[in-house]
């Protein structure tokens, strides 16, 4: 495995930690607090970096099944991050996250976990 892929894998694991921290905090607090928004934002940045490194380091087509799942889950997390920051700016973390946004956060996180698992399976399958 080349260096870019190895670094990408390390970074995507850090994104997993950041996303999970944010998800657990949002689930417990049900508010857009900095304790959740900051790890979510860091997770998005790490995920973008990891995805870029894995594309550059891979000898396979970037339009693989895992790639498409990964890109769509990254887009879902970026959208989630934007929506939660907009909610935070509008309500200053005083209001509870509306149920539709809370569900979107759950779905985006679960979809990202599916992409993460698909990546593991893709590596094991080689």
**pLDDT tens per residue, range 13-33:** 999 999 999 999 999 999 999
Nearest to 80 by CA among 61, 62, 48, 106: 106
Nearest to 84 by CA among 123, 125, 124, 27: 27
Q: Is 34 exposed, middle or buried (0-12, 13-18, 19+ CB in 10 A)?
A: exposed
Q: In this model, does residue 38 exceed pLDDT 70? A: yes
CA–centroid distance for 31 within its chain = 19
CB contact at 8 A, 12 and 47: yes
Mean pLDDT taken over the chain: 92
Q: How far is CA 123 from CA 5, 69, 117, in A?
A: 11, 15, 10
DSSP 98: P
What pLDDT is stored for residue 62 in this prediction? 64
* pTM, two decimal places: 0.91
Fold of 3-124: 1.20.120
When pLDDT is cut at 50, 70 and 90, the band that residue 92 belongs to is: confident
Q: How far is CA 3 from CA 57, 60, 103, 124, in A?
A: 7, 15, 37, 18
pLDDT digits (tens, 9 = 90+) for 42-59: 999 999 999 999 889 877
State the Cα–Cα distance between residues 50 and 6, nearest whole angstrom: 10
């Amino acid at each position: 495995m080349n260096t870019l892929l190895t670094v990408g894998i390390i970074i995507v694991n850090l994104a997993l930690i950041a996303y999970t921290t944010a998800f657990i905090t949002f689930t417990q607090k049900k508010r857009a607090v900095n304790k959740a928004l900051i790890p979510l934002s860091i997770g998005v940045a790490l995920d973008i970096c990891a995805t870029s490194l894995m594309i550059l380091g891979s000898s396979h087509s970037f339009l693989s099944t895992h790639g498409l799942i990964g890109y769509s889950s990254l887009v879902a997390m970026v959208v989630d991050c934007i929506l939660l920051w907009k909610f935070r700016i509008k309500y200053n973390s005083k209001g509870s996250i509306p149920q539709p946004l809370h569900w979107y956060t759950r779905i985006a996180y679960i979809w990202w976990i599916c992409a993460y698992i698909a990546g593991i399976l893709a590596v094991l399958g080689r």
